[in-house]
Structure 1
Amino acid sequence: MGRKKSDQLLLLLILIVLRELTLTSSVDPPQSENLASPPLAFPTSQLDLQVMHAFANSIHPAPIGWSSTTDPCDQDYKWKGVTCEFGRIIFINLRSMSLNGTLPPDINRLDSLRSLSLQDNSFVGPLPSFENLGNLQEFYVNQNNFTKIPDRFFNGLTNLINVSLDVNDFEAWEIPLDLAGSESLQSFTASRAGISGHIPDFFGKMMSLQTLRLSYNNLIGSIPLSFIGSGIKELYLNNQNTELSGGIEVLGNMPQLMTVMLQSNNFTGQIPDMSNCTLLSILELRDNRLTGPVPKSFFDMESLTKVTLTNNLLQGPFPSIKSDILNDDDNTGNSYCNDKPGPCDPIVNRLIEVAEGFGYPIVIADSWVGNDPCVKWAFVTCHGENVSILNFGNKNFGGVISPGFAEITTLKRIILNRNQLTGSIPDELTKLPDLQLLDVSGNNLSGKIPIFRSDVEFIYADNPFLGTDINPPPSSAPSSSVSPARDESHFGVVWIILPSVAFAVVILIAFLLAYRLMERKKTSITPISMQSLENPMERIPTPSHPSHHTNVDVVEADGLVLSIQSLRLATSHFSTANILGKGGFGVVYRGQLPDGTLIAVKRMECSEVGKKKKKISEFSAEISVMTTMKHRHLVALLGYCVEDDETILVYEYMSQGTLRDHLHANSDNERQYPALNWKQRLVIALDVARGMEYLHTLANRSFIHRDLKPSNILLDDNMRAKVSDFGLAKLIPDGKHSFHTRIAGTFGYLAPDYAATGRVTTKADVYAFGVVLMELITGRKAVDNELLETDDHLVSWFYRVINEKESFKNHIDPFLDIENEKDTKVLYEVAAFASYCTNRDPRQRPEMGHAVVFLDNFVNEWKPGNYDDDVFTSSSFGSFRQRLQKWEEDTESSSNSRLDMCSHIANTQTSLTPTETTDTFTQQY
């Protein structure tokens, strides 16, 4: 009996030792490579085994050793990437194995799991909940195709150290408060992860957090103030689709910062003094709306290796930062006084000091560019070379009145009424020798009232706290301006009238809010309906008054609306040096985006109401067409802007200009580009035909261009052509081939049937295409008023000269080098086809699809057959497909006889030679 008891005690002792070993295994180990202890030969627990078998069945291809019939902790099978401890799964590493599939929904039953590495694979579906994986110290699921993060995903993850969620297609989600319980978190990266909402405050309270990467998401709001004093070393918040905003002064109080990426947002205000950030190496601030001078502390920071500031609104002198550190290609978009390091003019420095009092408003920084304030600086008026008037009235500026005003001794008028200014009126202003007017009415100023000379008109009404020691509230609504008598005695009753003033202010605020809401409704811009293009003005109403920021949703499409600010930056404030050309709509500028992408910016210029309405109509039509048409031979619309009374279209940049520029000399009789060879001209013609065929028949909705001409055909680096300018385009009604509309187009390219009847079909574009072919062959303009009246209209002249084969050679573009018989034959074939396209009878013109077939054979080295005489007789009414077949069959016919028959078509043409130049027009009714 005693022996049995001793055996029982020994067994109990063994069980206690095993229990202690198991408890010891749950103690938190170091992270990463030290997470796993040497494995022991324990079989996998039943709970873990079920999860791992489900995992093995859900991924493809299965990693080495993974099978639903084996034990992941059995050393004989060795599941690749799996580490066990006492029969529990503690480490799974499947990094970069080209795996796909899903994760088991109950993966959180692996409650001993410490590390999960699944990055750089192709896993799909929603992430399962990780809730209550209390031992989990790190997980990496970045660069997969996960679609959703479930609720309570981070709940109970109290030992998290490293998290990576980057580059997944998650549904929109916000960083939950549950994550605040992970107080040991050192790194949280979730760039391109679909995050929305605000940056949580709790990140700033995590003393161990060193890396926070949230780039390329949809975050809004500002950088939390809780980040002050935090230990964050790497802060990546750049390229938010919805743009972060507010100031960045928090950065100056984050002493551990080493890398800061805030580019491509909407941050405003001044760059803070960063001298406390002695470890700072990289600072990316480009593409924001930062204002004010670059802090001088930047110049002495030895730790800096890279700084970008391009495309802000920074002021003052160009920063004296070493060129190998300042990684800006140029100072585009900023408002420096000069384009290289050096001092600003003293008057510029004084004006910047004035702007500092207001907090460097964007509206000031946007226009105060250069070193001469007398050249187009907003709010500044000069007499001679002296600044005499500063008018900042009714701009809603906050801040204070800077003593810097007193440094501009030539000032005669200072107008600051109806803003939100606080503080006192500087005594220094009383010493301005030429001051005639100071208007500070309608603000929140306080302190004593300064005494000016008797000849100075001093207006200070509607500052209820002026003349008292009471600090004003943060803001109040300005009231009407009244000039009081200069008797300070009335301020003794301020305590009596203060309640009445407060009540009046409340009523006024309510009234103003209601008024602004009504005005917003009046000026809101509704989306364009794609149902019709007949009345585009109904879909793009223009604001009744300009505003600096206008929320515009002009088309039912995402990503097209651009801000006027971004376009000003891209074009160097619409510099004349960037003008590419001018047309009926306005001026086209060359622009460059922050990433180096070149764009073409078409800016409407018109002050007459009637013409402006017409151009807005064209603007609407162009957007409606281009947002539904995507083709390699149609110029791509990248965006548009309706803001600040500006109407702008933005296109892809075509580096080789227009076909007109390559065919014709400019007004100075100079050619801008080398002459095109015959093969290039054929390829261009085919490209245009493909684009027009798509527009007519291949797209979801069919349109007629109505203004096809060389100036609307653009060329890229490879001399490939794209059709542009769809301002006159018309949607073809369903089930119809023709319809009546107002006549629009360009003289010389206008089809006679359309001009005579107002009924338009796709054959109107075919006619214009034929004229373009004639220009490619002859180098002549469609209408040339410098020639005799009998020769000034290209189509009529072309039909006369094409009949005489030998003399026709003399009329080919002299810059066109036809070197062999084969090219000569092809040229004659194309000339004949051009005549077909311009037939007076629209029924006898080919479709653009026929043009593609015809030209494609030449471009791809097809040798054309000769044509029969009958092909060009006006009595031949066979289909164009039949004619193509006949051309191919009649290979022994004489090209001479074919060309002779052009006289039949020539006799059917009528001249449309205008008395003026070939400007685009629209018929007025």
Structure 2
Amino acid sequence: MRRMLLLAVAHLLCFLQWSFPAFAILDPVDFLALQTIRRGLDDLPGSDFFSSWDFTSEPCNFAGVYCDGDKVIALNLGEPTAGSPGLTGRIDPAIGRLSALAEFTVIPGRIFGVLPDSMSQLANLRFVGISKNFISGQIPANLGKLRGLQTLDLSYNQLTGSIPWSIGALPALSNVILCHNRLSGPVPTFASQTLTRLDLKHNNLSGPLNPASLPPSLEYLSLSWNLLDGPVDQLLSRLNRLNYLDLSLNRFTGGIPGCLFSFPISSLQLQRNSFSGPIQPGDQVAIPTVDLSYNRLSGQISPMLSTVQNLYLNNNRFTGQVPVSLVDRLLAANIQTLYLQHNFLSGIEIDPTAEIPVSSSLCLQYNCMVPPVHAPCPWKAGLQVTRPAAQCTHSAGVKG
């Protein structure tokens, strides 16, 4: 009899396992936290992201909610399809009660208000992505408690204040994207030796960069459209893994190290600063686009730049002859853009009857010579063909 009873129980358990798959009921703290977060947010017109958030059912089945056991480990708010209208409202401090949360993202929409300080309680947080919304206020300094944080993307918001030094001290950061905000103050020192992407463009950051402020692990660096100043030659010499560099529209000074031109960079953007001195690459430059325009660079143009496809040297203080190698590659259509206007160049060896390839652009306007060939220049080059003779003495070439 006992044997028959045990067999019956075994069959019943087997039946229940197949008929009703086991699932964990969400932790009550997480359940209540999700309810509170939901009350602070709404779908924008055209979005139905929250249509599945029916709290009479299991929240781990909600759109954007991912669980491990009875805990929420990822919260992705908003329909991820490109062009989705997104959400509106505020991020409630209840987010800090999701104790196992490792990933938190919000798709572009109209989320406003400040980042809750309670996010600093999320000890397991690895990824934060809240881009293209209307988040305002300061970046909470206590986010520096998130020692495992790897990605911080708060780009395209309305954040103000400085970047907390505690953020820079985080040891596991790999991506910091804070571009297109209203941040001010200095760039902090970043301690993480795994940091590969730092994007701080379009802010109001100011002051010099410490030569040791950025780790050599960086591969992508954009600081454009800020108010940063001082020399960067020592800093750049250390960042030999860069494949993208944009320091444009700042107030950087000093020289540009020759070793920079040997880095595996696809686009070198240093325009509209106050860099000075000669440009001396050690070898043929393999960077497709080099923009050094609107600086105070001087000396002769290096023939090592003839392998650049798009070369912008305009509005500097370069002197001497245009290297023959640049002319040859331009006429062979290997150079697409060669802008040399507004310098103190004294000559170029080119046949006046030569035809500039349709795919190439050349501008020689406003130098210490009459351009031997007619080539259309951008309208910003102005209407003056040559510099006044008084500016073309040696002293004018250096100071003008």
Task: Tell me the TM-score normalized by structure 1.
Answer: 0.32
Residue 69 of structure 2 is aligned to residue 89 of structure 1? no
Aligned equivalents of 2:256, 2:225: Cα separation in 1 = 18
**Counterparts in 2 of 1:72 and 1:334: CA distance versus 1, 3 Å:** farther
Aligned equivalents of 2:204, 2:170: Cα separation in 1 = 23
* Deviation of 1:218 (Å): 0.8
**Counterparts in 2 of 1:108 and 1:157: CA distance versus 1, 3 Å:** same
- What amino acid maps onto 1:318 in structure 2? I
Aligned equivalents of 1:286, 1:153: Cα separation in 2 = 36
Q: Which residue number in structure 2 is paired with residue 56 of structure 1?
A: 38
- What amino acid maps onto 2:173 in structure 1? L
**Counterparts in 2 of 1:319 and 1:597: CA distance versus 1, 3 Å:** same
- What amino acid maps onto 1:43 in structure 2? I
- What amino acid maps onto 2:231 in structure 1? G
Q: Which residue number in structure 2 is paired with residue 369 of structure 1?
A: 344
Q: Which residue number in structure 2 is paired with residue 147 of structure 1?
A: 136
Give 1:210's match in structure 2, choosing from 196, 207, 214. 196
> Is the CA contact 1:56–1:66 (under 8 Å) kept in the aligned structure 2?
no
Q: Which residue number in structure 1 is paired with residue 4 of structure 2?
A: none
* Deviation of 1:69 (Å): 3.0
> Is the CA contact 1:314–1:334 (under 8 Å) kept in the aligned structure 2?
yes
SS at match of 1:279: coil
**Counterparts in 2 of 1:316 and 1:248: CA distance versus 1, 3 Å:** same
Q: Which piece of structure 1 moves more, 45-54 or 221-230?
A: 221-230
> Is the CA contact 1:238–1:261 (under 8 Å) kept in the aligned structure 2?
yes
> Is the CA contact 2:37–2:94 (under 8 Å) kept in the aligned structure 1?
no
Give 2:251's match in structure 1, choosing from 260, 266, 270. 266
Residue 28 of structure 2 is aligned to residue 46 of structure 1? yes
SS at match of 2:37: helix
* Deviation of 1:280 (Å): 2.8
Q: Percent identity?
A: 20
Q: Which residue number in structure 1 is paired with residue 102 of structure 2?
A: 114
Aligned equivalents of 1:228, 1:135: Cα separation in 2 = 25
Q: Which residue number in structure 2 is paired with residue 249 of structure 1?
A: 234
Q: Which residue number in structure 1 is paired with residue 222 of structure 2?
A: 236
Aligned equivalents of 1:246, 1:46: Cα separation in 2 = 55
Structure 1 unaligned residues grouped into runs of 5+: 1-38, 344-366, 373-570, 578-590, 601-925
Residue 149 of structure 2 is aligned to residue 164 of structure 1? no
Q: Which residue number in structure 2 is paired with residue 904 of structure 1?
A: none
SS at match of 1:192: coil
Q: Which residue number in structure 2 is paired with residue 189 of structure 1?
A: 177
Structure of higher RCO (CA pairs closer than 8 Å, 6+ residues apart):
2
Pick the structure with greater CA Rg. 1
**Counterparts in 2 of 1:370 and 1:305: CA distance versus 1, 3 Å:** closer
Task: Tell me the TM-score normalized by structure 2.
Answer: 0.70
SS at match of 1:333: coil
* Deviation of 1:227 (Å): 4.2
- What amino acid maps onto 1:314 in structure 2? L
* Deviation of 1:317 (Å): 1.9
Q: Deviations over 1:66-88 (max 9, x none)?
A: 436335535xxx21111111121
* Deviation of 1:47 (Å): 1.3
The structure with the greater share of residues assigned to strand is 2
Q: Which residue number in structure 1 is paired with residue 316 of structure 2?
A: 334
**Counterparts in 2 of 1:276 and 1:338: CA distance versus 1, 3 Å:** closer
- What amino acid maps onto 1:369 in structure 2? F
**Counterparts in 2 of 1:113 and 1:153: CA distance versus 1, 3 Å:** same
Aligned equivalents of 2:27, 2:222: Cα separation in 1 = 42
1:448-467 superposed matches below 5 A: none
1:618-767 superposed matches below 5 A: none
**Counterparts in 2 of 1:277 and 1:153: CA distance versus 1, 3 Å:** farther
Q: Which residue number in structure 2 is paired with residue 174 of structure 1?
A: 162
- What amino acid maps onto 1:255 in structure 2? N
* Deviation of 1:153 (Å): 4.2
**Counterparts in 2 of 1:313 and 1:152: CA distance versus 1, 3 Å:** closer
How many residues are paired up?
313
Residue 274 of structure 2 is aligned to residue 289 of structure 1? yes
SS at match of 2:253: strand
- What amino acid maps onto 1:133 in structure 2? L
* Deviation of 1:173 (Å): 1.5
Structure 2 unaligned residues grouped into runs of 5+: 1-20, 326-341, 348-364, 372-376, 384-400
Q: Which residue number in structure 1 is paired with residue 284 of structure 2?
A: 300
Q: Deviations over 1:346-371 (max 9, x none)?
A: xxxxxxxxxxxxxxxxxxxxx99344
> Is the CA contact 2:254–2:276 (under 8 Å) kept in the aligned structure 1?
yes
- What amino acid maps onto 1:80 in structure 2? A
Give 1:226's match in structure 2, choosing from 212, 215, 225. 212
> Is the CA contact 2:315–2:343 (under 8 Å) kept in the aligned structure 1?
no
Give 2:125's match in structure 1, choosing from 123, 136, 148. 136
> Is the CA contact 2:130–2:154 (under 8 Å) kept in the aligned structure 1?
yes
SS at match of 1:43: coil
> Is the CA contact 2:193–2:215 (under 8 Å) kept in the aligned structure 1?
no
Aligned equivalents of 2:246, 2:302: Cα separation in 1 = 19
- What amino acid maps onto 2:152 in structure 1? V
1:279-678 superposed matches below 5 A: 279-297=264-282, 299-302=283-286, 304-320=287-303, 321-322=305-306, 324-328=308-312, 331-338=313-320, 340-341=322-323, 369-371=344-346
Aligned equivalents of 1:180, 1:239: Cα separation in 2 = 21
Aligned equivalents of 1:248, 1:332: Cα separation in 2 = 21
The structure with the greater share of residues assigned to helix is 1
> Is the CA contact 1:281–1:305 (under 8 Å) kept in the aligned structure 2?
yes
Aligned equivalents of 2:228, 2:166: Cα separation in 1 = 25
Aligned equivalents of 1:334, 1:222: Cα separation in 2 = 23
Q: Deviations over 1:438-494 (max 9, x none)?
A: xxxxxxxxxxxxxxxxxxxxxxxxxxxxxxxxxxxxxxxxxxxxxxxxxxxxxxxxx
Q: Which residue number in structure 2 is paired with residue 500 of structure 1?
A: none
Aligned equivalents of 2:143, 2:230: Cα separation in 1 = 28
> Is the CA contact 2:150–2:173 (under 8 Å) kept in the aligned structure 1?
yes
> Is the CA contact 1:219–1:244 (under 8 Å) kept in the aligned structure 2?
no
**Counterparts in 2 of 1:309 and 1:150: CA distance versus 1, 3 Å:** closer
